[in-house]
Each structure stands twice: as C-alpha cells, then as structure tokens.
Amino acid sequence: MRRFPASVYGVGEEPDPRFSLANERTFLAWTRTALALIAGGVALEVLGLDLHPGLRLAASMLLMIAGTAVAPLAWWEWMRAERALRQSKPLPGAFSAVLLAIVVVAVGGLVIAGVLWR
C-alpha cells in the first residue's frame, strides 16, 4: 500500500512509532498556532480596539498572513523531520519558529505603537 507523501515514506526505514507520532503532534500544534494567528488577526480588526487604525490594520494583516504561511510551513517541517527520523539523521532545526518569533515581535511593536499614537 502506498503512503502519502511518497517523498517522505519512500526513503529510509520505519522509525519507532512514538517518534513519528510525536512529530505528528508537533505538526498539529503548528496547525493550531496557524489557526490562532488567523483568529487573532481577525479579532484585532473586527473588535475595532482603540488603536491607531493604520497600525491596527497592519498588525491584523501581519497576523493573518503569518497564520496562512505557518500552515504550509508546518507541513514542510513535518516532512523534514519525518525524513530525518526515517534515515536516522539528526533532526533539522525549526526554521519556522524563528520566523514566527519575528512576526510576534513585529505585531507586538505595531500594537504598542498603535496604543501610543492613537
């Protein structure tokens, strides 16, 4: 029986199921993070908080764009980790985590500026 994606399951050997399941849980956590970012962006704009309108919109859009980008990045990170597990190689670094940290800092800065310049 063929498994999807072949680019992951077609290499190496089956790892311990606990490691694959942990990798899947990490993927699901990233997916929840993507949903939370999108929801936060929508809430920030829909609630119409007393912030500078331009900065509020920028923060909202940044959250929604980041959430939309995190979902495919989560899939990419899952594939990279699963391939490494199957080939008994060291796990790759979490590139997405650095990007997410930058976005969170940027959004925080926009919200702070929005409060100060309302």
pTM: 0.90
Q: Looking at the predicted structure, is the pLDDT value of residue 80 above 80?
A: yes
Q: pLDDT, tens digit, for every residue of 17-52?
A: 999 999 999 999 999 999 999 999 999 999 988 999
Q: Which whole number is the average pLDDT over 63-68?
A: 97
Rounded (10°) CA dihedral 94, 96, 100, 102? 80
pLDDT for residue 47? 94
20: Cβ contacts below 8 Å, ≥ 6 apart: 82, 85
Q: Where are the domains of the chain?
A: 16-116
Instruction: Please report, for the chain, how many H helices and E strands are present, in that order.
Output: 4, 0
